[in-house]
């Protein structure tokens, strides 16, 4: 793979639109990550390039979503909902209706599609849209703050060009919209590592959900226990994702980099540091294949911003782990007790808790080895 500089995709419009004030979803996270990177000298020059997003057109959105749904989405912005629109998930607590709803979804999806086109053209091999990652949206369903599924649109764009895609989702919530989109397809292998549906919405994503028809064995779920920390999480990644990626040998990776699996998130119950995300991104890059990455969840804004900034530095090939000249703590990161830059510090773990977590994750690993590996001749 050539050494074309990675692209950070953004537009000012993405920071100007916002969900209603009482919604926990903050559209400004991507802009804040960009500002942090610029302030540290980690965006531009040899640290990748910026690319300007454009909104997705209705015809582009129709590659996954129905015309009926897109019409309903546009008409719902006035707040006068029909029963059909409510049935499509609009006006729910997690998908509130607001004037900029359709425009924001079009811009966020357009940014991801810009990344896909830049990869297909060969202009870059790594593209990152932190404003993307809306993995819950269905063909005719809004869900979990997601109105338009930019990830499905990007994967379909790649498969239209004959590419095999491995979609990896490390958001704390199960990527149910992506599972539904490709459940019967072998063109896209979907792998989701998430907090178990026994304890977290959307209450799906178990080890026995492995696809159907041509897609059987190409849908992989690793439900994880409350309080999982880096070591156990990375064991699941290394024992499940890595061998499957080797066997599937995709042409392109699509990564959903939600940061709500980080300790302290307001909606989930996992205990990761962003060091785990950084290690996973590096291992995916080591396959030497094009990578399209997006944001996703993340409801502790400062932690999410720092996590995405760190993710970008990994994509750019920078190792800041031992370089405190970059991203010192204090007011810049609003983190006065840690001067480790963008990397999270590793906190002491309770040995008893870690053992109980490992017992659960080992069962998940064995179930997936039994349920999925035979379809790929992985031993």
Under 8 Å between Cβ of 90 and 97? yes
Distance CA 91, CA 84 (A): 11
Distance CA 305, CA 115 (A): 20
Count of helices and strands (H, E) across the chain? 13, 8
95: closest CA among 68, 71, 77?
77
Which residues, 6+ apart, have CB-to-CB distance to 241 below 8 Å? 168, 191, 193, 280
Q: Which pair of tokens denotes residue 362?
A: 């080992």
Distance CA 120, CA 44 (A): 22
Largest interatomic CA distance in the chain: 56
Element of type H or E holding 119: helix 101-121
At 109, give phi and psi (nearest 5°): -70, -40
Which residues, 6+ apart, have CB-to-CB distance to 260 below 8 Å? 171, 172, 173, 267, 268, 270, 296, 297, 298, 299, 304
Catalytic residue among 65, 125, 135, 136: 136
Q: Please confirm, yes or no, whether 125 is among the known catalytic residues.
A: no
Could you give the residue numbers annotated as active site?
136
């Amino acid at each position: 793979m050539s050494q074309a500089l990675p692209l950070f995709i953004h537009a000012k419009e993405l920071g100007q639109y916002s969900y209603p004030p009482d919604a926990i979803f903050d559209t400004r996270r991507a802009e804040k990550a960009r500002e942090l990177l610029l302030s540290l000298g980690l965006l531009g020059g040899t640290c990748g390039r910026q690319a300007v997003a454009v909104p997705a057109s209705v015809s582009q959105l129709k590659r996954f979503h129905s015309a009926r749904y897109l019409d309903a989405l546009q008409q719902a912005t006035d707040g006068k909902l029909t029963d059909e629109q409510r049935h499509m998930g609009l006006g729910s607590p997690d998908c509130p209706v607001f004037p900029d709803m359709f425009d924001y979804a079009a811009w966020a999806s357009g940014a991801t599609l810009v990344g896909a086109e830049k990869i297909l053209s060969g202009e870059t091999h790594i593209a990152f849209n932190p404003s993307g990652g809306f993995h819950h949206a269905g063909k005719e369903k809004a869900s979990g703050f997601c109105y338009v599924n930019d990830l499905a649109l990007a994967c379909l764009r790649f498969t239209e060009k004959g590419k095999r895609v491995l979609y990896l989702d490390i958001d704390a919530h199960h990527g149910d919209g992506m599972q539904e989109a490709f459940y019967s397809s072998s063109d896209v292998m979907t792998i989701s590592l998430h907090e178990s549906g026994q304890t977290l919405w959307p209450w799906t994503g178990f080890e026995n959900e492995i696809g159907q028809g041509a897609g059987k064995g190409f849908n992989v779920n690793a439900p994880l226990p409350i309080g999982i920390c880096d070591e156990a999480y990375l064991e699941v990644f290394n024992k499940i994702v890595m061998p499957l990626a080797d066997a599937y040998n995709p042409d392109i990776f699509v990564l959903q980099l939600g940061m709500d699996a980080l300790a302290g998130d307001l909606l989930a119950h996992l205990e990761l540091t962003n060091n785990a995300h950084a290690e996973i991104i590096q291992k995916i890059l080591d396959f030497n294949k094009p990578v399209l990455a997006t944001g996703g969840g993340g409801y502790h804004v400062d932690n999410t911003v720092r996590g995405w900034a760190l993710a970008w530095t990994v994509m750019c090939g920078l190792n800041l782990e031992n370089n405190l000249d970059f991203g010192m703590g204090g007011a810049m990161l609003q983190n006065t007790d840690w001067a480790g830059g963008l990397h999270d510090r590793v906190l002491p773990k309770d040995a008893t808790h870690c053992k109980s977590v490992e017992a659960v994750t080992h069962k998940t690993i064995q179930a997936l080895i039994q349920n999925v590996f035979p379809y790929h001749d992985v031993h």
